[in-house]
């Protein structure tokens, strides 16, 4: 087989959820947007229901309808983008709960689906999604009189515990929601780790479930193994890859692996990222191409049939550092060509 294998440990995801849940005394939901951060929302969510999760969050109603098909009824599916034009049939059919972000969305939801549940997303300072304090002040009593399930907001800097935005947003959210009787939620993964002041009634971690920063104690979830297609010797002075970008300083051995930027191994990793043959690191030699990587395996006595680019030696965040990005982007870029193999899947 010439495609890489992405091993996904669903038990590790459940363990990460339980470890985050243990840091709070309130309900812990799960964010499975972007197809479960690239790992398949249906598999992840089904495993998490067995761990005790009852509420899920997705980005769009389209994601919500697919998740409902996988989960069946009895679980709450909340949609961060709220009630967009065209969402009505999806929200109705799948019983989704939109997090209403604006007066316009409030009107759309009430006209299209009178009596249908909703949450409200407030802007406490990130200026991305949610009602501004003035909108909320105008609409609040009316919204509270209806089937309101949740009032939430999102932290911009929760992965930097000392950032002054954290207490500023906490104060803003606390003030905006004073006297609210429905559950309140401010914390994603970073917010859970900021402690009880930030946890309110419901936490909604995403990346920590999948083993990513800022949950430093997470159990690793993914291992990505790439098959070696060919191995060759190159002499000192020969070059490797597009642009002849890497030159052998001495006689070297180059392995060509099946995966490239079309699979989420972005070109910026060229000449920098490490792959692992068991415990031995081997560096990328030359540019990442669309379907192939070239790796300097000169130190190996024997070249194995696979090298790992993610696994116990290299987390998504460590690989992200080599690519000037973040673990979230590495995870959600892992392409459709990999064979996804799940452990911990059995009912
Ligand atoms: C993505 C997202 C989350 C989850 O954030 P993580 O940092 O992955 O834990 C929670 N809430 C909102 C509004 C989000 O967009």
Q: Is 338 a catalytic residue?
A: no
Q: What is the CATH number of domain 222-343?
A: 2.40.37.10
Q: How far is the CA of 260 from the centre of ligand 1 (A)?
A: 28
- Please tell me the pTM assigned to this model: 0.97
Positions of the chain with pLDDT lower than 70, given as ranges = 346-347
**Is 189 close to ligand 1, i.e. is its CB under 6 Å away?**
yes
Tell whether ligand 1 has an atom less than 6 A from the beta carbon of residue 241.
no
Is residue 154 within 6 Å of ligand 1 at its C-beta?
Answer: yes
Does ligand 1 lie within 6 Å of residue 140's CB atom? no
So what's the pLDDT on residue 2? 85
At 4 the pLDDT is 97
215 lines ligand 1 (CB under 6 A): no
Q: Is 108 in the pocket of ligand 1 (CB under 6 A)?
A: no
pLDDT of residue 346: 63
Tell me which residue has its CA closest to atom 4 in ligand 1.
206
| Residue to mutate, 32, 199, 204, ligand 1, most ligand atoms under 8 Å from C-beta | 204
- Cα 188 to Cα 19: distance, rounded to the nearest angstrom: 14
Please identify, by atom number, the ligand 1 atom nearest to the C-alpha of residue 158.
7
Cβ of 188 below 6 Å from ligand 1: yes
Cβ of 338 below 6 Å from ligand 1:
no
What residue's CA is closest to ligand 1, atom 11? 188
Backbone angles phi, psi at 223, to 5 degrees: -135, 130
Per-residue pLDDT tens digits for 269-291 = 999 999 999 999 999 999 999 99
Look at ligand 1, atom 3, and give the residue with the nearest C-alpha.
188
Q: Which atom of ligand 1 is nearest to the CA of 214?
A: 7
Buried-exposed string 1-29: b where 16+ CB fall within 10 A, e elsewhere? eebbbbbbbbbbbbbbbebbbebbebbbb
Paired residues of 274 in beta bridges: 283
Domain ranges of the chain: 10-210, 222-343
- Annotated active-site residue 23? The verdict is no
Index of the ligand 1 atom closest to the CA of residue 192: 9
**Nearest-angstrom CA–CA distance, 130 and 30:** 20
What fold is seen in the domain 10-210? TIM Barrel (3.20.20)
Q: What is the 3-state secondary structure (H, E, C) of the chain?
A: CCCCEEEEEHHHHHHHHHHHHCCCCCEECEECHHHHHCCCHHHHHHHHHHHCCCEEEECCHHHHHHHHHHHCCCCEEEECCCCCCCCHHHHHHHCCEEEECCHHHHHHHHHHCCCCCEEEEECCCCCCCCECHHHHHHHHHHHHHCCEEEEECCCCCCCCCCCCHHHHHHHHHHHHCCCCCCCEECCCHHHHHHCHHHCCCEECCCHHHHCCCCCCCCCCCEEEEEEEEEEEEECCCCEECHHHCEECCCCEEEEEEECCHHHCCCHHHCCCCEEEECCEEEEECCCCCCCEEEEECCCCCCCCCEEEEEECCECHHHHHHHCCCCHHHHHHHCCCCCEEEEECCCC
Ligand 1 atom, smallest distance to 59 CA:
15
Using most ligand atoms within 8 A of CB, pick from 20, 31, 131 the residue to mutate for ligand 1.
31
């Amino acid at each position: 087989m010439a495609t890489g294998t992405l091993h996904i440990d669903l038990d590790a995801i459940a363990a990460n959820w339980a470890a985050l849940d243990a840091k709070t005394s309130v309900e812990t939901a799960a964010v499975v947007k972007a197809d479960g951060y690239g790992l398949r929302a249906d598999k992840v969510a089904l495993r998490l229901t067995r761990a005790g999760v009852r509420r899920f969050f997705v980005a769009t109603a389209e994601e919500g309808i697919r998740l409902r098909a996988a989960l069946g009824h009895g679980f709450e599916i909340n949609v961060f983008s709220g009630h967009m034009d065209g969402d009505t049939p999806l929200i109705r059919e799948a019983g989704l709960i939109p997090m209403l972000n604006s007066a316009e969305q409030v009107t759309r939801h009430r006209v299209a689906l009178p009596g249908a549940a909703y949450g409200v997303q407030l802007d406490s300072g990130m200026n991305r999604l949610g009602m501004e304090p003035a909108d909320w002040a105008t609409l609040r009593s009316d919204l509270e009189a209806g089937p309101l399930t949740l009032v939430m907001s999102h932290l911009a800097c929760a992965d930097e515990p000392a950032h002054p935005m954290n207490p500023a947003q906490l104060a803003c959210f606390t003030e905006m929601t004073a006297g609210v009787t429905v559950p309140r939620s401010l914390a994603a993964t970073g917010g859970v780790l900021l402690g009880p002041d930030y946890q309110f009634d419901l936490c909604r971690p995403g990346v920590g479930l999948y083993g990513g920063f800022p949950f430093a104690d997470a159990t690793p979830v993914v291992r990505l193994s790439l098959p070696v297609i060919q191995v060759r010797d190159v002499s000192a002075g020969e070059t490797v890859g597009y642009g002849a970008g890497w030159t052998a300083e001495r006689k070297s051995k180059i392995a060509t692996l099946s995966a490239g930027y079309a699979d989420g191994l972005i070109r910026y990793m060229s000449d920098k990222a490490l792959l692992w043959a068991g415990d031995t690191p081997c560096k990328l030699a030359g540019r990442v191409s669309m379907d192939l990587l070239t790796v300097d395996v000169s130190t190996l006595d024997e070249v194995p049939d696979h090298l790992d680019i993610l696994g116990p030696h290299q987390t998504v965040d460590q690989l992200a550092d080599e690519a000037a990005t973040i673990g979230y982007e590495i995870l959600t870029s892992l392409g459709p060509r990999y064979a996804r193999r799940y452990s911990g899947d059995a009912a």
